[in-house]
């Protein structure tokens, strides 16, 4: 079991996951990217922000 | 079936209680009172209940003994008639402000008059189950919390409990049903429509409850009435004693509310509803809580949303009823709200 880097919730990564695979945290909804294997490393996936400040 | 009577059933909270109890799997409505509408069908006042029930309002003097009395009277009435109500039912749940505060001086300060039954102050469990479930389970009297207090206390409780708060500024946006069903010049449509009304920038009575629950930290509270019928959005600007990483905030709230049936964490990075949104909660008993950390200061913004008539009044009362009567805590409260609305 892995941990979301944003909220710390438990995140399941499939045994056959590959580098670059995207996952969604079930608790905070953050998009996580598999950036390492053996051991699995998760990073927060880059995101294009909406600009609501006009 | 547990027999419930509702005292003061013609207001908005009374109507919500009727809607909930009429569909509760373990309860039935025995009587509903209204002095003004005695003898009339309840659906003449609450039209959403047409063909749901043929109940008629009765006067308080006509009440028969029952299992639980739900009291929705104007502030000041419950304390005046408490002995009469205690003779009618072994369990009381009061939705007014009369017994929320446990201290006579505090009542005097926030309500501007002497309490007529100070001997009973402190004898009511405070009706926020997420903080007082055990006391509510064993109680014969429960005082439901104020709606703004409920939204604010649930938002702040985990942080305050961990000793992390130096001070807080709370800005509540509230729907018009908070003001009850009595019309006034201020509620006249041409005056009210489109208004963003600062109706209590300082000195709101619910702050007394917040201090009782959260302690004497500085709490600065303002309320603004907006173009909404149901709902409260409490934006709490929390000034922290120490900088907290986002993950630590998540863990704090998850520990406090992870097992709670009616508190949800709402903080999403995409989509339309990224933070709590009261309109999605209309008719539901949820309190949604989200947060955002200011990376340039010690400010943490905690946002909570409820339906003021549900988690802030009738839904909270039914949740307490379920706990007191050992029913499933979510019984009668599973409506998830509507989308779109």
Residues B74 and B35 in one domain: yes
Residues B46 and B85 in one domain: yes
Q: Which domain holds residue B18?
A: 2-123
CATH of A2-44, one of 3.30.1540.20, 2.20.28.160, 2.60.200.20, 2.60.120.590: 2.20.28.160
Does residue B85 belong to any structural domain of this protein?
yes
Out of B59, B91, B123, a domain closes at B123
What is the per-residue pLDDT across A6-54, written as a single tens digit (0 to 9) for each?
Answer: 999 999 999 999 999 999 998 888 999 999 999 999 999 876 655 665 5
Residues B268 and B155 in one domain: yes
What is the per-residue pLDDT across B287-315, written as a single tens digit (0 to 9) for each?
Answer: 999 999 999 999 999 999 999 999 999 99
Domain boundaries, chain A: 2-44
> At B154, is the pLDDT very low, low, confident or very high (cuts 50, 70, 90)?
very high
Predicted confidence at residue B328, as pLDDT, reads: 98
Q: DSSP character for B11?
A: S
Instruction: Say which of B246, B254, B269 has its CB closest to residue A29.
Output: B269
Work out the minimum CA distance from A48 to partner chain B, whole angstroms.
10
Residues of A in contact with B268 (CB under 8 A): 28-29
**SS3 sequence, B123-153?**
CCEECCHHHHHHHHHHCCEEECCCHHHHHHH
Instruction: Indicate whether B153 pLDDT > 80.
Output: yes
Residues B282 and B170 in one domain: yes
Residues B179 and B301 in one domain: yes
Q: What is the CATH number for B263?
A: 3.30.360.10
Is residue B325 among the annotated active site residues?
A: no
Work out the minimum CA distance from A6 to partner chain B, whole angstroms.
6
Residues of A in contact with B269 (CB under 8 A): 28-31, 47
Angle between helices B147-161 and B129-138 in degrees, nearest 10: 100
Instruction: Say which of B250, B267, B268 has its CB closest to residue A8.
Output: B250
CB contact under 8 A, A6 and B268: no
Cα-flanking dihedrals φ and ψ of residue B160, to 5°? -65, -40
Number of domains, chain B: 2
Residues B105 and B193 in one domain: no
Distance, CA of B194 to CA of B119 (rounded, Å): 45
Mean pLDDT of chain B, nearest integer: 96
Cα-flanking dihedrals φ and ψ of residue B177, to 5°? -70, -15
Q: DSSP character for B203?
A: -
Question: Which of B58, B66, B72, B147 is flagged as catalytic?
Answer: B147
Does residue B217 belong to any structural domain of this protein?
yes
Does residue B296 belong to any structural domain of this protein?
yes
Residues B112 and B159 in one domain: no
CB contact under 8 A, B247 and A29: no
């Amino acid at each position: 079991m892995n941990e979301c880097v944003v909220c710390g919730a438990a995140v399941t990564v499939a045994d056959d996951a590959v580098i670059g695979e995207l996952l969604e945290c079930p608790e905070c909804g953050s998009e996580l990217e598999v950036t390492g294997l053996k051991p699995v490393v998760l990073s927060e996936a880059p995101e294009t922000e909406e600009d609501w400040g006009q | 079936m547990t027999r419930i009577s509702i005292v003061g059933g013609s207001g908005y909270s009374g109507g919500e209680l009727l809607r909930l109890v009429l569909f509760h799997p373990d309860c039935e409505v025995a009587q509903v009172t209204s002095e003004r509408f005695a003898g009339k069908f309840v659906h003449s006042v609450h039209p959403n209940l047409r063909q749901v029930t043929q109940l008629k309002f009765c006067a308080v003097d006509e009440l028969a003994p029952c299992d639980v009395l739900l009291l929705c009277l104007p502030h000041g009435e419950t304390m005046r008639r408490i002995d009469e109500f205690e003779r009618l039912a072994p369990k009381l749940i009061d939705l007014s402000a009369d017994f929320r505060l446990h201290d006579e001086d505090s009542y005097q300060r926030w309500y501007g008059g002497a309490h007529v039954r100070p001997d009973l102050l402190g004898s009511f469990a405070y009706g926020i189950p997420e903080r007082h479930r055990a006391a509510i389970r064993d109680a014969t009297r429960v005082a439901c919390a104020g709606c703004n207090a409920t939204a604010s206390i649930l938002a702040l409780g985990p942080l305050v409990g961990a000793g992390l708060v130096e001070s807080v500024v709370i800005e509540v946006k509230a729907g018009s049903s908070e003001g009850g069903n009595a019309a006034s010049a201020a509620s006249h449509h041409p005056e009210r429509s489109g208004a963003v009304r600062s109706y209590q920038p300082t000195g709101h009575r619910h702050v007394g409850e917040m201090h009782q629950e959260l302690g004497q930290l500085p709490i600065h509270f303002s309320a603004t009435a907006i173009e909404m019928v149901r709902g409260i959005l409490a934006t709490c600007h929390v000034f922290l004693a120490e900088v907290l990483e986002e993950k630590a905030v998540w863990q704090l709230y998850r520990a406090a509310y992870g097992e709670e049936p009616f508190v949800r964490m709402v903080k999403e990075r995409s989509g339309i509803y990224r933070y709590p949104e009261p309109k999605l909660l209309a008719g539901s008993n949820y309190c949604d809580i989200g947060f955002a950390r200011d990376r340039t200061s010690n400010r943490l913004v905690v946002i909570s949303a409820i339906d003021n008539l549900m988690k802030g009044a009738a839904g909270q009362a039914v949740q307490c009823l379920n706990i007191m009567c050992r029913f499933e805590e979510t019984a009668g409260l599973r409506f998830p709200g509507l989308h779109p609305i």
